[in-house]
Amino acid sequence: MNKLNYIEKAENNLLHTYKRYQIILDKGEGVYLYDTEGKKYLDFAAGIAVFALGYNNKEYNDTLKAQLDKLIHTSNYYYNVPAIDAAKKLTTATGLDRVFFTNSGTESIEGAIKLAKKYAYNKDGSTDHEIISMNNSFHGRSMGALSVTGNSEYQKAFKPLIGGIKFAEFNNLESVKNLITEKTCAIIIEPVQGEGGIYPATAEFLQGVKDLCEVNDILLIFDEVQCGMGRTGSMFAFQQYGLKPDIMAVAKALGCGVPVGAFLANEKAAAAIAPGDHGTTYGGNPLVCAAVSKVFDLFESNDIVSHVNEISPYLEGELDKLIEKYSFIIERRGKGLMQGLEFSVPVGDIILKAQELGLIIITAGKNIIRLVPPLIITKEHVDEMIEKLKASIDLTI
C-alpha cells in the first residue's frame, strides 16, 4: 500500500481531531526518523518533548521486551515491583513524597486538581473552592484540565466547565494576589509555559506565588508535563528556582514513549486522599513502570542533565544568530532544550518546507517555532537543524 492509500484509509477511519502532516513515520534511530518511503528526517520535536533518549535505544528497548515476556498488567489491587522501583526513583528525583501513576499528562492534571479539592474539602467540608490558573496556559483537553487551561478558544465549545476557576496573568504577581479569596485552594502554574509560546516564569514570580500559598494555606501545583525530565537543564524546572510545589504533574519524557504520567505530592497534600477517592485501571502497570525506572537509570548513566547544560548554550547562540539575520524573527525564549522562536509572520509554511528538506519542527501558536529535540542531540545536529531551518525560511519568506 502506498502513502496516499494509507492516508486515505486513515482519514476514512480515524476521528478528525488532528490536522496531520502528510507524513507516515515508520521507524527511528537516534535523533532521526524515517517515513514509509525511506525519507530521513532530523527530529527536533521528539514526539512533542517525549523521546528524550532518542529512538531505538537498545537498553530501553531490551527492558521493555523483557517486561513484555514477564508481566504487562495486573491492576492496582496488587503491588508490582516495577511500579515500586519507579515510584522511589521519582520521589527521589523530585523531593516530593507520594506518587500516583497515570496514563498521560492530562490525567496527571486531573488527579492534581482532585487532590487539591479534597485537601480543601477536608478543611471545611465545603465544595465551592476556587483554583487560580494562568492566562495563556495549557494543561490538557479533558474537562478538568481544560477548565484550568487559559485559552478560551479551546474551551468555548465545551462549556460549562468545572466552576471556580480564575485566571491571572503569568509573571504578574499582583494579578494573582487580586484573585485570592478565602475559597482559593490551589494555584496551578507551568514553570515554563509550553503550548502558550515557550514563556519561562521569572524567579520573582514563582517565589512570590509560593509565599502567597504558604501564608494562605493554598496548594501550589506545578505542571511539568512538558518542561520536566531534564529538558530545561535540571531534572525538573522548579529546581532552578530554589522552591518546591505541593503537587506536581509529569508525563511525556517520564516514559520516553510509553503512555505514562504521574502526579506527586508532599505529605501535607497527599494525606488528604483516601482509598476510593481516585483510581485508574492501567496506571502504574508493570510495563510502563519498567520503562520509567529504566529512563531514570539511563538519565543517570548518560548524565543527560549535564549534557543538556552543555549543548543548550550552543543551541541558544545559533538561534540568536537567526534573530540577527532575519528582521521578522522577534525573539527567542526558553530554557535548556525547550526553545521557541517568535516570528512576526505565521510559521506554518516554514514548518512544511522544513519537512520537505528533512527537518521536523513544530509550532507553539501560529507564529512560534518550538524546538524540543531529543536530549541527546549534539552540536552537529544543531548545525544541521540551523542549516535546514535557514533554507526553509529563505524558500518561504
**Residues 81 and 204 placed together within one structural domain of the fold:** yes
Cell digits of residue 223: 505542571
Domain count, the chain: 2
Q: Which of 192, 198, 260 has the alpha carbon at shortest distance from 222?
A: 192
**Residues 313 and 279 placed together within one structural domain of the fold:** no
Q: Is residue 282 within 8 Å of 113, Cβ to Cβ?
A: no
Q: What is the pLDDT of residue 171?
A: 98
DSSP-assigned letters across all residues of 134-194? ETT----SSHHHHHT-S-HHHHGGG-S--S-EEEEPTT-HHHHHTT--TTEEEEEE-SEE-
Residue 129 has pLDDT above 80, yes or no: yes
Euclidean distance between CA atoms 57 and 98, whole angstroms: 29
Residue 1 has pLDDT above 90, yes or no: no
Euclidean distance between CA atoms 226 and 242, whole angstroms: 19
pTM: 0.97
Q: Above pLDDT 70, what percent of the chain? A: 100
**Residues 27 and 73 placed together within one structural domain of the fold:** no
Q: Is residue 89 within 8 Å of 262, Cβ to Cβ?
A: no
pLDDT tens for each residue of 263-321: 999 999 999 999 999 999 999 999 999 999 999 999 999 999 999 999 999 999 999 99
Q: What is the pLDDT of residue 89?
A: 98
Q: Provide the CATH number for the domain around residue 169.
A: 3.40.640.10
**Residues 122 and 180 placed together within one structural domain of the fold:** yes
**Residues 178 and 283 placed together within one structural domain of the fold:** yes
**Residues 211 and 351 placed together within one structural domain of the fold:** no
HSE-up (13 A, CA, CB side) for residue 238: 25
pLDDT band at 71 (very low <50, low <70, confident <90, very high): very high
Average pLDDT, the chain: 97
What spatial distance separates the first Cα and last Cα of the chain, rounded to whole Å? Answer: 36
Helix (H) or strand (E) holding 98: strand 98-102
Average pLDDT on 169-190 reads 98
Helix (H) or strand (E) holding 371: strand 368-371
Q: What is the pLDDT of residue 291?
A: 98
Q: Provide the CATH number for the domain around residue 327.
A: 3.90.1150.10
pLDDT tens for each residue of 135-174: 999 999 999 999 999 999 999 999 999 999 999 999 999 9
**Residues 331 and 237 placed together within one structural domain of the fold:** no
Last residue of a domain, one of 241, 272, 301: 301
Last residue of a domain, one of 237, 270, 301: 301
pLDDT band at 356 (very low <50, low <70, confident <90, very high): very high
Helix (H) or strand (E) holding 212: helix 203-216
Residue 204 has pLDDT above 80, yes or no: yes
**Residues 106 and 18 placed together within one structural domain of the fold:** no
249 DSSP β-pair partners: 223, 263
Last residue of a domain, one of 261, 285, 301: 301
pLDDT tens for each residue of 93-124: 999 999 999 999 999 999 999 999 999 999 99
**Residues 211 and 73 placed together within one structural domain of the fold:** yes
Residue 66 has pLDDT above 80, yes or no: yes
**Residues 240 and 315 placed together within one structural domain of the fold:** no
Q: Residue 351 sits in which domain range? A: 3-53+303-396
**Residues 75 and 144 placed together within one structural domain of the fold:** yes
pLDDT band at 220 (very low <50, low <70, confident <90, very high): very high
pLDDT band at 37 (very low <50, low <70, confident <90, very high): very high
**Residues 26 and 65 placed together within one structural domain of the fold:** no
